[in-house]
Amino acid sequence: MTQYQPIAISDIDLSDQTYRVTRAPEDLSALTLSISAQGMIIPLKVIEKAQQRGRGYTLVSGFRRIEAARSLGQSQVRCQIYPAGEAAACARMAVAENAFCRDLGPGELARAVVLVSRHMDAAALAEHSLQIFNTRLNLKFVETLIFLGRLNESIFHLMDSGQLAIKAARVLATMPEQDAQTMLGLFSCVKASSGKQMEIFTWAREICAREKIRLDQLLNDSQIRAALDPNKSNQDLGAAANRVRAVLYARRFPQLEAARTRATGLVRDLGLPRTMRMTLPENFESMVYSLLVSFTSPEDYAKSLEVLTRLAAHPAFHQLLDRQGPFK
Amino acid sequence: MKLTRLFIDQALTGKAGVSDGIADEIAAIAEKTGLTPEPVADPAQVYDTINQADEPIGFAKQVLFITANKGAIIRACPGTSHYTCCDYTILHTGTFCTMDCSYCILQAYFHPPVLQYFAGLSTLTSALQPVFSGNDLLRIGTGEYTDSLIWEPVTPMPAFLVDQFSTQDRAVLELKTKTVNVSSLLEKNPQGKTILAWSVNTPEVIRAEERGTASLTARLETAKKCAAKGYRLAFHFDPLIIYQGCGPAYETVIETIFTHVDPKDVVWISLGTFRFMPQLKSVIQTRFPDSVIPFGEFILGLDNKMRYFKPQRIRLYQRLAAKLKETAPGVFAYYCMEDQEVWEKTFGFFPGKQGELAHLLNQAAVEKCGLDHRLL
């Protein structure tokens, strides 16, 4: 039987985040104002700690509200109390309460699945997912999230913060545990779109396979470490991701990258005016180069023709087109 | 790979089958494979059996389905856009393969891949009749969708084709293989009209990537035997795999070939670096987890297939072109699906006109196989 009663906040173990599904609160000012004006409309849910009946509680729902109440200096909150034996029901409630109010973020969903999976096997969880998670989850996805949850708690934060997309998380779940931990370490230092995350995965794994090195050896390489260097003036995680990608790309496609660098240098040597833009053949596979010329008047056009004539005699132009430059 | 199931298209087992000699063909295959034929009314039963396996591609190599060719028996090679094609003609006698090469495109080409043998030798005769009496020179091969000679130990088809081609001078038959299955062929007199062609690679690549194929030495010893029996020869360096030390290794393969066979017996040699539909990559990674060939420096080619970055291709080709010129200057060498830049920077010319490469190959077939020169 559940019961409602006021409980001292000090009797609730706020360090116990077992039932937490939501992200850590960022701005609670509006909620604090609301509680200050109208009181706590919906009571919190707590469950008795197994060994401390009547004295210690774990919070099941209301993680933001209790923070707001504390910030208002309140010492007691009204709670719905569940006996220690109802942990499974509490897990489902903690999830459903959030999932039926709004879409869960990727990290929240992962955290929720892991929470419920402590009381229900993966197949049953998938089967009952609609009633708990307000969405259908297939068994494979459930198993992936459970695997990830076992791996490292930080994974949820990375998913919440957008540093680890679901797609990339799925790849993590296929990796040996040590490699997955290594990749998690990397993703905690960068922020990239899902597509770029997948490129990082793919290039890193393929470099390791080709060079027969371990993932941790690759990611501890001095160039990668330099790309991640927290002392860099620019601590933008997105910029760090781009630096890491650049290092990995150059190692995965060394000749292509070198050719691009040389070709870009030659284009720079041409000193084209702003009104002209040269496009190199994609991956240098075709022999077709294109030059976009913009002009606004017959005079402009005539000037462009002069530039084009000079271009035809420029050594860098010849090196580009006969490929001696980029393919050196 | 040992066959474990033998399915027969039920439509082949009726009265028509008996009168066409198909029943005898099926009985011979059943006897040689030692398997009990399982008639199926619908090919979907075979596809389902394969798809339900844990590893359908590997399992499909053990399941032989004898059926009729319901499409074109003779068809033009599909080629690919933007790259120069040799205008080959395909004689469609079967699909898929019992050997297991990591890079094999057939793994991703068929859904699911099915090891099919198209029974009915008389249908081949009928399809070839217009070719043999026509006014065009053709190079016809059975090795596009399957290995030509995996069928030799269990079917009469390869030897039958050798006989068929031996009596005319309009077309040359090319049987491409990585096997040494030539017993029945050695009893025939091809009259120069059959080219036995071996795909060759370095011993390292054969060991690592070509499960169940004959060794390079065995292939070349067999080629030597076949040349002595009047067969013409060809070699296909395809796919060339780029790896550390591959240049000298492929040069050694060229030298080894010509320590076994006389260049005068070799009609042509083709070169082609590894290229693949992007979807093959994940198949290789799943089925051949130790293979490193998907991790080369590939780019998306103009035909939407993955190819090695062009300077890498050119460097290897330059080396092999020079070696071929030095070792066997009289043998016509060509590229399978390469572009003008590659041809010019390696062979120094480009057969850019429509049908020009085909003409050069036909010329080689006229000279070395005795096709009618008036049709050139």
Domain assignment of residue B13, yes or no:
no
Q: How far is CA A17 from CA A50, A63, A108, A125, in A?
A: 15, 9, 13, 21
DSSP one-letter string for B28-60: HHHHHHT--EEEESSHHHHHHHHHTSSSHHHHH
Comparing CB atoms, the residue among A209, A255, A323 nearest residue B312 is: A255
Q: What is the pLDDT along chain A (328 residues), one digit of tens a residue?
A: 567 899 999 999 999 999 999 876 678 899 999 999 999 999 999 999 987 555 699 999 999 999 999 999 999 999 999 999 999 999 999 999 999 998 888 889 999 999 999 999 999 999 999 999 999 999 999 998 888 887 777 788 888 888 999 889 888 888 888 999 999 999 999 999 999 999 999 999 999 999 999 999 999 999 999 998 766 656 789 999 999 999 999 999 999 999 999 999 999 999 999 999 999 999 999 999 999 999 999 999 999 999 999 999 999 999 999 888 788 7
Query: How close is the nearest chain B Cα to the Cα of A307, in Å?
Result: 28
B183 near A CB under 8 A: no
B243 in helix, strand or coil? coil
Q: Does B344 touch chain A (CB under 8 A)?
A: no
Residue B339 in domain: yes
Q: Of B253, B248, B256, whose CA–CA distance to B224 is shortest?
A: B256
B369/chain A closest Cα distance in angstroms: 37
Q: For the beta carbon of residue A59, count every other beta carbon within 10 angstroms.
A: 25
A36 touches chain B (CB under 8 A): no
Q: How confident is the model over A76-97, as pLDDT tens digits? A: 999 999 999 999 999 999 999 9
CA distances, B356 to each of A74, B269, B331, B349, B352 (Å): 90, 17, 17, 12, 7
The burial of A212, by beta-carbon neighbours within 10 Å (0-12 exposed, 13-18 middle, 19 or more buried), is given as exposed
Mind telling me how many Å the CA of A208 is from chain B's nearest CA? Answer: 10
Q: Which residues of B153-165 are buried (b: 16+ CB within 10 A; e: fewer)?
A: ebbbbbbbbbebb
What are the phi and psi torsion angles at A9 (to 5°)?
-60, -30
Prediction pTM value = 0.86
Q: What is the pLDDT of residue A25?
A: 67
Which value does ipTM take for this structure? 0.89
Q: Is B312 on the interface with A (CB under 8 A)?
A: yes
B39 cis-preceded (ω within 30 degrees of 0): no
What is the rounded CA–CA span in Å between residue A123 and residue A117?
A: 10
3-state secondary structure of A133: helix
Distance CA A242, CA A261 (A): 17
3-state secondary structure A207-265: HHHHHCCCHHHHHCCHHHHHHHCCCCCCCCHHHHHHHHHHHHHHHHCHHHHHHHHHHHH
Q: Give me the average pLDDT of each 10-residue run along chain B (376 residues).
A: 92 71 92 95 96 96 96 87 87 97 95 94 95 96 96 96 98 98 97 98 98 98 98 98 97 98 98 97 95 96 96 97 97 94 96 92 97 94
* B336: in domain: yes
Q: CA nearest B289 in A: which residue?
A: A209
Place of tokens 């062979």: B347
Q: Contacts of residue A323 in chain B, CB cutoff 8 Å?
A: 311, 341
Calculate what percentage of chain A has a pLDDT beyond 70.
96
What is the distance in angstroms between the Cα of B171 and the nearest Cα belonging to chain A?
Answer: 35
Any B CB within 8 A of A327 CB:
yes
Q: What is the C-alpha to C-alpha distance for residues A270 and A266, in angstroms, rounded to an integer?
A: 6
Residue A323 gets the label, from left (phi > 0), alpha (psi -120 to 50) or beta, of left
Tokens standing for A273? 């005016």
Whether B133 is covered by a domain: the verdict is: no
Nearest-angstrom CA–CA distance, B214 and B219: 6
Are B294 and A327 a contacting pair at CB < 8 A? no
Q: From CA B50, how far away is CA B63, in angstroms rounded? A: 8
Nearest CA distance, A167 vs chain B (angstrom): 16
Please give the pLDDT value at position A209.
Answer: 92
| Set of chain A residues whose Cβ sits within 8 Å of the Cβ of B339 | 286-287
Pick among B284, B295, B315, B346 to test the A interface (most A CBs inside 10 A): B295
Range of the domain at B354: 73-94+139-375
For chain A, helix, strand, coil in percent to 5 are: 60, 10, 35
* Axis-axis angle for helices B246-260, B310-327 (nearest 10): 30
B349 at interface of A, judged by CB pairs closer than 8 A: no
Residue A269 to residues A234, A256, A318, A324, B354, Cα–Cα distance (Å): 30, 20, 12, 15, 39
A208 — contact with chain B (CB < 8 Å)?
no
Please report the number of interchain residue pairs, chain A to chain B, with beta-carbon separation below 8 angstroms. 46
> Residues A111-156: pLDDT tens digits?
999 999 999 999 999 999 999 999 999 999 999 888 888 777 778 8
Q: At B165, which CATH number?
A: 3.80.30.30
**Best residue in A283, A286, A288 for a mutation probing chain B (most B CBs within 10 Å):** A283
Residue-wise pLDDT tens digits, A2-17:
678 999 999 999 999 9
CA-to-CA separations, B267 to A202, A227, B76, B363, in angstroms, rounded: 43, 55, 21, 10
The verdict on A96 touching B (C-beta cutoff 8 Å) is: no
Is residue B127 situated within a structural domain?
A: no
CA nearest neighbour of B316 among B294, B292, B297: B297
Whether residue B121 lies inside any domain: the answer is: no
Q: What is the DSSP string of B304-351?
A: SSEEE-HHHHHHHHHHHHHHHHHH-TTSEEEESSB-HHHHHHHTS---
Dihedral sign for Cα atoms in the order A278, A283, A284, A288: negative
B124 inside domain: no
Closest in B82, B294, B309 to A255, CB measured: B309
**B40 domain residue, yes or no:** no
How buried is B70 (Cβ within 10 angstroms: 0-12 exposed, 13-18 middle, 19+ buried)?
exposed
**How many domains is chain B built from?**
1
* Nearest by Cα to A289 from A258, A266, A255, A306: A266
